[in-house]
Amino acid sequence: MRLLLFLSSILLVAVANTSLAETTVDNPFYVGVQTGYGNTDWARLVSQDDLSATATPVTATGDGVTYGLLAGYQVVPRIAIEAEYLHFADSHLTFMTPNVYNVTDVTSKTNYYALITKVFVLTNSDFRLYGDIGAARVTSASELADNTHTGLTFGFGADYSISEHWLGIFSFEYTPGTAVAAENASAQYVPYLYSLTLGMAYRF
């Protein structure tokens, strides 16, 4: 809660200072699509010894194409707020038998929803660099369990003004998941997410 208050205060100060901006933003709203490479990281769950293999997977892969939507508002030239959605490639978990779930292969689906604040570094060209931070909600669904984790997300990237209305975006984003020390750890784990995406947005 303290953390959310702190992050909210950053956003509020940024928005409240709109009148202090060096220049105004012509087309502050933008919507777009994004796609790229995503990794759902199960490394903290993958069993390292035979005893834990009765409850956690022996292998887990979660690489593949990720895609989604974005919508944002450029508050001032150096600050934007953005809502994001990404669908990650299916993760495939393999369990040793016997195990506490009586399964061998499990497919898990992961979705990511986030609200982030971007802080830009302007350059002399149409390129901008940025770092971002925000809150993310990650859903992880499989035959073992449907889990949801709300936490932080972080990233950095660059964008390029292709024209007055079109914006190209290159983004790296990292979203920590969560793990629990329990016999059914596999049913409570939410993977850690990495994404590297290219986006195209229309500004209006």
Partner 1 sequence: MIPIVGAAVVEPAKDHFFYAGVIGGYANVDWSPVVSTDNATLPTDPTSAEGDGALVGVDVGYQLNPYVQFEAEYMRMPTSTLTYSIASHRDYGPLSSASTMDFWSVLVKFIAPLGDTGLSVLTEAGPGYEQRADNVADVNAFTPTFGAGFLYRINPQIQVEAVFQYAAGTGVSEVNPMNDYVPEIYAYTFKVDYLFL
Which residue ranges make up the site for partner 1 (CB under 8 A)?
2-3, 6-7, 10, 13-14, 17, 19-22, 43-49, 51-52, 55-56, 76, 78-79, 117-122, 129-133, 152, 154-156, 174, 176, 178-185, 192
Helix (H) or strand (E) holding 44: none
**Closer residue to partner 1 (CB): 13 or 65:** 13
CA distance 9 to 18: 14
**Closer residue to partner 1 (CB): 33 or 196:** 196
Write down the least CB distance from residue 90 to partner 1, Å.
21
Write down the least CB distance from residue 49 to partner 1, Å.
5
Write down the least CB distance from residue 197 to partner 1, Å.
16
Write down the least CB distance from residue 23 to partner 1, Å.
11
CA distance 195 to 65: 9
**Closer residue to partner 1 (CB): 113 or 189:** 189
Cα 56 to the chain's mean position, in Å? 24
CA distance 183 to 181: 7
**Closer residue to partner 1 (CB): 60 or 70:** 60
Q: Are 88 and 114 in contact (CB under 8 A)?
A: no
Burial bucket for residue 183 (CB in 10 Å: 0-12, 13-18, 19+):
exposed
